[in-house]
């Protein structure tokens, strides 16, 4: 259990990190500590090289208060976002600003050895070309499946053969000599949204839903991610829905939401429309490329193809029905839609809203805002991964482990 001193240091540091240019008097208000205690904690953080002065605020009659900021150039943080078919690796400063990122096409079913070797090679490239002499302080990783957050281990991920129980944290911590945290990719997308969209950050209770190849949700309560007892909160893709019928899901069960309304289902139904000639646009795409992707259905809808539009409406109706249940159950301020579905928002957002407003409790929808994510999909996950690492490495338990050493770089992985 961190001491009162460490908790105070972490609270002051968090306030400086999240409110650049904050002054010492404002810190007293924000962290709820006395002026002398705040002054001591500020002095200690400055002596440790973690914060520094940032000019003066206008005087209100006495001595002008000094602004404070994080010394963000002391180190770098790696963010690794593993998706089903794509890998994004980003390098950021200690304030979370992305310095550079790289994308690679992968297949997560190739297994952890191959995928993580690719991630390590890309990270090495970024460190060599961007980091300079700044050490790696922490690493955040997102995976497209259930993760036990305490251990960082993937647990029986339906679409990730060979990943069950794989020591992602241990491997990367040993490779880069820095603490590592691993989470579900949708949680990190929600965290990326919170850090990038002021309106999302201002919402105390937020539900982030990623609808793409897979379907998942992240829950934000009082501005913080809620992971549940083990880390699987929000895994809505594998709830059974009446309309799911006997559709076989990747998890092995029948009738899951993902099996009926996920990206693979959209591609499957789109191909059927192409092969039967019901969708002339999709038939043309199939003849040219030999396959139908979820994005192709959106393309056909944008070209006015009636069958493609009807398919998107059916998919958004199925998704909206489940989300209406979640809205009634959780009662969020804001519902954010992310993932591949955002590309089709012109054809699906209105239907999803209509279903939710019609089927959820009136009190739950009275002031509910439903929007598509404002953050590009290729940025939200890696941004969230970076901020996961920063939030955890500056948390009281971690801070206590490395503060005396001056940096978490080269330290054993955090528990």
CA pair distance 78, 75, nearest whole angstrom: 10
Closest by Cα among 256, 293, 250 to 160: 250
Residue-wise pLDDT tens digits, 219-253: 999 989 999 998 889 989 989 998 888 888 888 88
d(CA 167, CA 349) in angstroms, rounded, equals: 39
Can you tell me the distance from the alpha carbon of 232 to that of 153, in angstroms, rounded to the nearest whole number? 12
**What dihedral do alpha carbons 218, 88, 393, 69 form, nearest 10°?**
-100
Which residues have C-beta within 8 Å of that of residue 230, sequence separation ≥ 6? 148, 149, 150, 155
* Spatial separation of the C-alpha atoms in residues 159 and 320, rounded to whole Å: 24
pLDDT for the residue 340:
86
Q: Please give the average per-residue pLDDT across 183-206, as a whole number.
A: 91
Which has the minimum average pLDDT: 22-36, 60-74, 126-140?
60-74
Residue-wise pLDDT for 271-327, tens only, equals 999 999 999 999 999 999 999 999 999 999 999 999 999 999 999 999 999 999 999
Q: For the chain, how many residues are written?
A: 415
Residue 234 CA neighbour count, 13 Å, CB half: 31
Q: Is the pTM of this model over 0.75?
A: yes
Query: pLDDT-derived band of residue 415, with 50, 70 and 90 as boundaries?
Result: very low
pLDDT confidence bin for 110, thresholds 50/70/90: very high
Q: How much is the average pLDDT of 159-178?
A: 95
Residue 390 near residue 91 (C-beta atoms within 8 A) = no
DSSP 295-348: HHHHHHHHTT-HHHHHHHHHHHHHHHHHHHHHHHHH--SEEEEESGGGGGHHHH
Contact 406, 49 (CB under 8 A): yes
The average confidence (pLDDT) of the chain is 92
Confidence band, pLDDT 50/70/90 cuts, at residue 414: very low
- Position 374 pLDDT exceeds 90: no
Other Cβ atoms less than 10 A from the Cβ of 288: the count is: 8
Who has greater pLDDT, 191 or 20?
191
pLDDT at 400 over 60: yes
Residue 217, SS3?
A: strand
How far apart CA 352 and CA 134 sit, in angstroms, is 46
Beta bridge partners of 98: 92
Domains and CATH numbers, the chain: 4-70 (1.10.10.10), 76-191+378-405 (3.30.420.40), 198-374 (3.30.420.40)
Q: Bridge-partner residues for 218, per DSSP? A: 208
How far is C-alpha 404 from the geometric centre of its chain's CA atoms?
31
- DSSP 8-state secondary structure symbol assigned to residue 3: -
How do residues 32-88 score in pLDDT, each as one tens digit? 888 999 999 999 999 999 999 888 877 666 677 889 999 999 999 999 999 988 999
Average pLDDT of the residues in 97-123: 97
Residue 140 has phi, psi (to 5 degrees) of -115, 140
Mean per-residue pLDDT for 130-159?
Answer: 94
Beta carbons of 98 and 90 less than 8 angstroms apart: yes
CA 195 to chain centre: 10
Q: What is the pLDDT of residues 329-366, one digit of tens each?
A: 999 999 999 988 888 888 999 999 999 999 999 999 99
Angle 394-396-401 from CA coordinates, rounded to 5°: 85
**pLDDT for 220:** 95
Q: 88 forms bridges with which residues in the sheet?
A: 81, 103
């Amino acid at each position: 259990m961190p001491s009162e001193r460490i908790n105070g240091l972490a609270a002051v540091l968090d306030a400086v990190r999240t409110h650049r240019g904050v002054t010492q008097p404002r810190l007293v208000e924000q962290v709820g500590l006395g002026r002398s205690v705040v002054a001591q904690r500020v002095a200690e953080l400055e002596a440790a090289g973690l914060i520094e002065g940032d000019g003066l605020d206008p005087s209100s009659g006495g001595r002008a208060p000094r602004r404070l900021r994080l010394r963000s150039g002391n180190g770098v943080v790696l963010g690794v976002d593993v998706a089903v078919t794509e890998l994004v690796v980003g390098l950021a400063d200690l304030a979370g600003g992305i310095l550079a990122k790289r994308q690679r096409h992968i297949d997560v079913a190739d297994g952890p050895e191959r995928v993580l070797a690719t991630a390590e090679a890309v990270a090495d490239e970024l460190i060599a070309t961007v980091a300079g002499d700044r050490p790696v302080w922490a690493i955040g990783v997102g995976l497209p499946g259930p993760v036990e957050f305490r251990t960082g281990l993937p647990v029986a991920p339906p679409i990730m053969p060979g990943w069950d129980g794989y020591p992602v944290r241990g491997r990367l911590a040993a490779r880069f000599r820095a603490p590592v945290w691993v989470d579900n990719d949708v949680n990190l997308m929600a965290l990326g949204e919170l850090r990038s969209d002021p309106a999302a950050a201002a919402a105390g209770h937020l539900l982030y839903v990623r609808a793409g190849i897979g379907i998942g949700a992240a829950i934000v309560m009082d501005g913080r991610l809620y992971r549940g007892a083990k880390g699987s909160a929000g895994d809505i893709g594998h709830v059974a829905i009446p309309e799911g019928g006997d559709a076989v899901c990747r998890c092995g069960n029948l009738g899951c939401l993902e099996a009926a309304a996920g990206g693979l289902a959209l591609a499957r139904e789109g191909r059927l429309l192409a092969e039967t000639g019901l969708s002339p646009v999709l038939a043309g795409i199939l003849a040219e490329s030999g396959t139908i992707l979820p994005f192709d259905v959106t393309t056909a809808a944008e070209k006015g193809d009636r069958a493609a539009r009807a398919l998107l409406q059916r998919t958004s109706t199925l998704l909206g029905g489940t989300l209406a249940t979640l809205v009634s159950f959780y009662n969020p301020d804001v519902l954010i839609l992310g993932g591949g579905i955002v590309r089709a928002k012109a054809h699906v957002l209105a239907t999803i809203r209509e279903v939710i407003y019609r089927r959820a409790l009136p009190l739950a929808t009275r002031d509910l805002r439903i929007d598509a994510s404002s953050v590009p999909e290729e940025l939200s996950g890696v941004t969230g991964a970076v901020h996961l690492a920063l939030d955890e490495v500056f948390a009281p338990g971690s801070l206590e482990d490395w503060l005396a050493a001056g940096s978490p770089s080269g330290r054993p992985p955090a528990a």
